[in-house]
Amino acid sequence: MAELDTSSGGGKKGGKVRSKKASTRVDLTAMVDLAFLLITFFIMTTTLSKPKAMDVAMPDKDEDTKQQLPVAASRSMTILLGANDKLEWFLGEPGTAQPSTEDYGKDGIRKVLIEKGKEVQQTFGNYMIVLIKPSDKSNYKNLVDILDEMKITNVQSYAIIDITPVEVDLLKRDNNY
């Protein structure tokens, strides 16, 4: 049992004679019980932070990786992730279309994805395919940001693939590598 002792505990000091007082005793057992009840209440009622994860379909390890499905260049958008939080995008094949440099966010690539997705849907009657190609100079945050944009803009089909030397040259030409 916990208690608080407030008696003086000292010896005789000075020449004054004082009347002897009974020491006050406070029983802290109820306070300890209350503290544990409050701790348990707050532990049980708080919600734990939910993990923020995105499902990404990865190819099987045993399958032949050289077997790739053909992608229609007319309805595919390629996004090249460069340095300094910049990216370039183009529709079609590299060399045939002029790439545009954009930033991440709602006024950058998100706006482009929504507009071009609607254009492809109206023109071909099918959804747009996005090819994400991170360069050596891009960082992990850039990849997470572009995957977030895919989720926000509701792009149905996208893939993360290796960047080609031709596309690296495009990034170097526009000072994004």
Q: Does the pLDDT at position 103 exceed 90?
A: no
Is the pTM higher than 0.75? The answer reads no
* HEC letters along the chain: CCEEECCCCCCCCCCCCCCCCCCCEEECHHHHHHHHHHHHHHHHHCCCCCCCCCCCCCCCCCCCCCCCCCCCHHHEEEEEECCCCCEEEEECCECCECCEEECCCCCCHHHHHHHHHHHHHHHHCCCCEEEEEECCCCCHHHHHHHHHHHHHCCCCEEEECCCCHHHHHHHHHCCCC
Q: Does the pLDDT at position 82 exceed 80?
A: yes
Q: Give the mean pLDDT of 41-53.
A: 82
Domain architecture of the chain: domains with CATH: 73-173 (3.30.420.40)
pLDDT in tens, 157-173: 898 989 999 999 989 99
Q: Does the pLDDT at position 16 exceed 90?
A: no
pLDDT on residue 119: 92
